[in-house]
Structure 1
Amino acid sequence: MATPIEIVKGTYAAYRRQDIPAVLAVLSPDVRWKMVGQPRHIRYAGERNSLADIANVFEHMAADDDIKRFDDIEIIEAANGKDITVLGIVEGVVRQTGKTYTLEWAHVFTVENEKITRWIGFYDTAVRLECS
């Protein structure tokens, strides 16, 4: 049985190799998913309510941004063993403008029964918007 930290690390590994089906496979069908931000400004921001909607998030991210670096820097496990917070950094290029950005992010996961049941992403949307 994989630990919540192993699940989270595996999810990042799958994302880095662009294996989105592997990412989706570890999400609970009723996952609560939210990228904090305004979808009217960044179309992959906002809440999603289905795995199909989340798959679209990854499609929009790939279409809108060319990610050059995506590193998890620190993983923090809550005392309850199921909540994980990850701090990291991303460098990318907005495809529409060619402008580059570097920003820090934080992701909050809840992992139960080897499935991600909650994911919330935070990052400096202002930095990303300046490049749009």
Structure 2
Amino acid sequence: MAGENLEVVRRIYRAFAQGDIPAVLGAMSPDIVWNEAENFLYADGNPYRGPDAVLKGVFKRLGEEWDGFSADAEELLDAGEVVVALGRYRGTYKKTGAKLDAQFTHVWRLNGGKAVGFQQYTDTLQAARAAEAA
């Protein structure tokens, strides 16, 4: 039905905002293929395959390295099996105290009510500068 995939993605962002990582991971297919933007801090594991790889390679690092990290989806675009999220990342890199306030675009691919693909696009330079600030 129309809008079901949009609602799945909406619930993912809501769960992430509430810190409910098990719910976020539960919305992923066991064989999800997750890609961080080229040159992003966590692109070193691309592609992450499966929720456990996303947890260890992305979410765990976000929690360890950032204070108040958020991914605020300001607009969701429904294209059937693809949902595009437009929003902003915000947070403070713990080691440097530098703040991040960067645009993002996320392209989600869904099948059977589960996320099977994720592609991030963002300002990788701003994130790198936050991590390297003196």
Q: If the length of structure 2 is used for normalisation, what is the TM-score? A: 0.87
* Aligned position for 1:72: 73
Relative to 1, partners in 2 of residues 1:116 and 1:69: Cα closer, same or farther, differing over 3 Å?
Answer: closer
Moved more, 24-33 or 47-56: 47-56
* Aligned position for 1:107: 106
Q: Tell me how far apart the structure 1 counterparts of residues 104 and 91 of structure 2 sit (CA, whole Å).
A: 13
* Contact preservation (8 Å) 2:62, 2:69: no
Q: Tell me how far apart the structure 1 counterparts of residues 10 and 32 of structure 2 sit (CA, whole Å).
A: 18
Shift of 1:68: 5.1
Q: Does 1:61 align with 2:79?
A: no
* Aligned residue pairs, count: 127
**Secondary structure of 1:37 counterpart:** coil
Q: Tell me how far apart the structure 1 counterparts of residues 67 and 54 of structure 2 sit (CA, whole Å).
A: 18
Shift of 1:69: 4.6
Shift of 1:51: 1.9
Unaligned runs of 5+ in 1: none
* Aligned position for 1:7: 8
Report sequence identity in percent. 27
Large movers: runs of 4+ above 6 Å: none
Relative to 1, partners in 2 of residues 1:38 and 1:68: Cα closer, same or farther, differing over 3 Å?
Answer: closer
Shift of 1:50: 2.5
* Contact preservation (8 Å) 1:70, 1:88: yes
After superposition, give the CA deviation of every residue in 1:58-105 in whole Å (9 maximum; x if it has no partner): 110111112355321111112xx1101010012210111111121000
Relative to 1, partners in 2 of residues 1:30 and 1:13: Cα closer, same or farther, differing over 3 Å?
Answer: same
Q: Tell me how far apart the structure 2 counterparts of residues 47 and 125 of structure 1 sit (CA, whole Å).
A: 17
Q: Tell me how far apart the structure 1 counterparts of residues 71 and 49 of structure 2 sit (CA, whole Å).
A: 25
The structure with the largest helix share of the pair is 2
Shift of 1:121: 1.0
